[in-house]
Structure formats: structure tokens, C-alpha cells
Chains A and B, each alone.
Chain A
Amino acid sequence: MHTAAGAQARLPIRSDMDLVWVRQHVRQAAAQIGFGLVDQTKLVTAASELARNTLVYGGGGTMETEPLAEGGTRGLRLTFSDEGPGIADLEQALSDGFTSGGGLGMGLGGARRLVHEFAIESNPGAGTTVRVTSWVGRAPRPREEI
């Protein structure tokens, strides 16, 4: 695995086997960038939730990983894209306990709590893109923001 290039990649999400590769790739990239064990675990767990959403609700898609550097702080950005049916009510989809797929409804809202930055864009009929970013050594977001 190359040093800087290894963290930048685009992975397909087409089966539950791909979820395993997504988790392994994110862990590897996060370790390479310098995240500690707890932060690696949070990021990989968030990636697993979001990749499963892409697979189950979006009908499959891709994950892109991108290493970042901003004023001496390193970070990792993950972008999950699908061309599925999209989400009609984002507020509802982000609330805990909401599910349309038989899960626990922790996916989106739970993943949001595990990262520093979270952005979602979705249009009914045109797919969904979720972009999350975490920074090495930065404290978790205050609870009231979430």
C-alpha cells in the first residue's frame, strides 16, 4: 500500500461482501492518517452504517475516501453516493428510531454522532450523497449540536 495515495480511493458498494472491504479500507486509511484506535473505530463504524444505507436503500453505489490536510491538521473525508430513490424527508431519516428498512433506525443519526462533519444531499428519484469528515486529534462535537 502506498503512503499518501493509499488513502484516496473509490470503492464499489454492491454486496454485503463490499461492506467488509469498505470497513477494512477505511480502517487502513484512518490508521495511515494517524487516527487513534477509538477514532478509527468510530470512523469505521460510521462508514459501515453509511455503506449499508447505500446498499440497502440506495440499491448500491460507491464510497470515495479522500485524505485532507488543513492548517497542520489531518483528516479523512468519506463520500457515499447512490442513484437510488432518494430520501423524501431528511429530518425524519436523521432522527433516531426511524427506519424504512427493518433496521434499528440508528444508521444515519448514529453515523452523524460518530464524525465531526456530516452533510447529506438527497432528491427523490435522483439518489443520495452523504459526506462525512473527521479530523485527527479534534474533540468530538458537543452533544447539543447534534
Chain B
Amino acid sequence: MLVDTDGAAVLAGGQTLINVLKLNLAAPTALVDIHRLPELRIIKPAEDGALVIGAAATYAQVAADPIVSSAQPSVAAMAAGLVDRQVRNRGTIGGNCCLNDPTNNFPPLLAALDARFRIAGPAGERVLDAADFFTGTMSTALTPDEILIAIEIPPLPGNARIAHRHLQIGADSWAVARAAVRLDIDAGIVTSARLVAGAVQNSPVRLHDIETTLTGRTADASLPLAALEAFDDTRIVTVDDVHCSAAYRKQMCKIQVRRALEEILAQGSRS
């Protein structure tokens, strides 16, 4: 139906799309409701050990699933804290990613976790990584006749540490700035770093220069300071909006990076 109907749109949890329709910001000719398709709500481990989360799995489902909590606790924790009780029962992890609102929670975290995005369309399936899936503010690589069917998160090595920090307008509400960080630390040395900024333009944005700066360094109190210095040299495009100026947002993003790194240092290694 999505292929045969010009201007059709996919409806999953509807927690954004229905508001968009009310405001006449979109006028699809047909809605293809996928929210009750069981194969899109499945949560399971894949053969290669990755965690597969169906795109139409709700936040409540992701938060409560023991497989998610044990394989990717940061994903479960994020789902548990989203918006409010009602929206968590309806909003989906796939919808959160496909919308790619810069303030959305999941895109930066999933990018930091090397998540892969499995897409189905008339030509079959394809799998993209975060850098290719998220193409810009409110946009993804999905074509109109494709749907996201699952998000696959590779297993974490035992030395991986993850932190996500954000500054929000209110509890569980819109973010002004986000940072998602994953560091792999071996014998006190950072062997691999992923830093992703959220709530900035074209987010999620990998902060490659800071990653390079941190890789190979000793994981001690000097780490956040090195990141702050590298942050000042990084070009991050932010915008003014009703909540704050672009300069404030960039400064807050920097602080979230620092706090995420401090949190990682405070964590023991996962084991």
C-alpha cells in the first residue's frame, strides 16, 4: 500500500504524526498503520549477539524488556525516562529515530552504540549505520516507499562504558543539549571513543576530533579537560530557539560532554 499509494505515510505510535496531521503540517493521502504488527515489535538477540529491537516496539516495551536491560541497560534506562507514562505506551523507538527531531533522545545514544538500522522496501532489505541513516534535521535516508523495521545494536565489549547526559527544559521533557558517550577502556587507557552530540543542528553529530583526542589517553581526570579543549576547536552548528540562544546551547552541549565523561570515569568497568 505504501508503494502503490502516492503520498501515503506510515503511522506507528502516532505521538508525533497525529499532532502533525492536526496542524495540517502534512496531508498524507493514506495512513498505513503498522503499530500492531507483531514482527515489528519483536525484541530478541540476533545470531551475532546483537540486540534486535523491532521499530514499532514502544518505549514502555523497551524499558520493561529483560533482554534490553541486560544487553543494553542505557537503552532501557532511556526508554523508561521518556516523556510520560501515556506516551511511553504508544511512542516507538523506530518513530523516535525516523522523525529524527534534533532534540530526540534515541538518535545520539544509538549512534554512540554503533546501532544499525534495518530498512525494508520494494527492492528488499538494506542496513545502514547511524552516520548514513540520520541525514539531517528531521530527515533520514528512508525513501517514501521504505519502512524502518528494526534497530540492531551490536553487543558491548566488557570494557565498554556508556554515559548519556542532557539538559532538559523540565523533567523528561525537551532537551536543550545532549551528549552520548561510549569509551572502551583497557588497563586504564582509552582504546576507542565515541562522542555524539544531540539537540544541535543535523544531530546526531559524531564529534570525531574529540574522539581522536581522547583515544590512547589515560582514563583519568585529565580526560574531560582534554575533551573540553578539543570541543572549543570543534565546529558545531546550533540554532537560536524559544528556549535559548545558539551560543548557550553550544556551551550546554560542551558541559554535557564533560559530565558524561565524568560519569564514565566514576563508573567501574562493566563486569
Q: Do A and B bind each other?
A: no
Q: Using a CB–CB distance below 8 Å, which chain A residues touch chain B?
A: none
Q: Using a CB–CB distance below 8 Å, which chain B residues touch chain A?
A: none
